[in-house]
Structure 1
Amino acid sequence: MKYFAAFLPMLNEERSQLYRPQHLEFLDKMSADGKVFARGRFADGAGGLVIYVAETLEDAKAMAKKDPYIVHNARGLEIHQWEMISDAFIPKIS
């Protein structure tokens, strides 16, 4: 399995709010199925990031295109294979 980083830049804030519950439900299901490694929104409101787990870029794109944000044109989609390198150091935030 490989990792794929999907950038979801904001296209329409109103649609994004409208479809947020469906988007989160979609990601919950994908996570439960082991198809999402990590996810989260950008703190500045510019959009979000989803790390998909798939065999190929085409598989990852097919999954990402089913996200209600993409289906309803609330967010854009840019996706790339991601070669994760981690030393897993997590600093304390005060």
Structure 2
Amino acid sequence: MSIFAVEYVYDADSASIREEHRPRHRQWLSGLVEEGRVLASGPFADGAGALLIFTAEDESDLLSLLKQDPFASVGAISGMKTTQWSPAVGAFAHLV
């Protein structure tokens, strides 16, 4: 398993869509936490996006998983960056 940092970018005009679908989005994330696939997730303080930390076999596995996000299916995400990450110290370092 690899660890990936995922950055979502939100358009300001998608706030109402995100608000409407946030319960399903968070339920989806909570299920992935239980499976060990999501290590952390949360919005940026300015509301312009979010940072999510996932485990996945590879980037293809990650992208397949991200397509299942309710935010993705309703067009709430305007941009996304995925980066494989190797934490050296801290809470996630023992996972690599």
TM-score by length of 1: 0.86
Number of equivalenced pairs: 88
Indicate conservation of the 8 Å contact 1:4/1:51, yes or no: yes
State the SS of the aligned residue for 1:7: strand
Give the percent of matched residue pairs that are identical in Structure 1 and Structure 2. 34
Deviation at 1:71, TM superposition (A): 1.3
CA distance in 2, matches of 1:26, 1:85: 28
Match of 2:83 in 1: 80
Match of 2:94 in 1: none
Deviation sequence 1:4-33 (CA, Å, 0-9, x none): 111111131111111100000000000001
Match of 1:53 in 2: 55
1:87–1:30: structure 2 CA closer, same or farther, 3 Å change rule? Answer: closer
Name structure 1 gaps, 5 residues minimum.
89-94
RMSD: 1.2
- Once structures 1 and 2 are overlaid, which stretch shifts more, 49-58 or 79-88? 79-88
Point out the structure with the larger helix share: 2
CA distance in 2, matches of 1:36, 1:25: 12
Indicate conservation of the 8 Å contact 1:6/1:64, yes or no: no
Match of 1:91 in 2: none
CA distance in 1, matches of 2:35, 2:21: 21
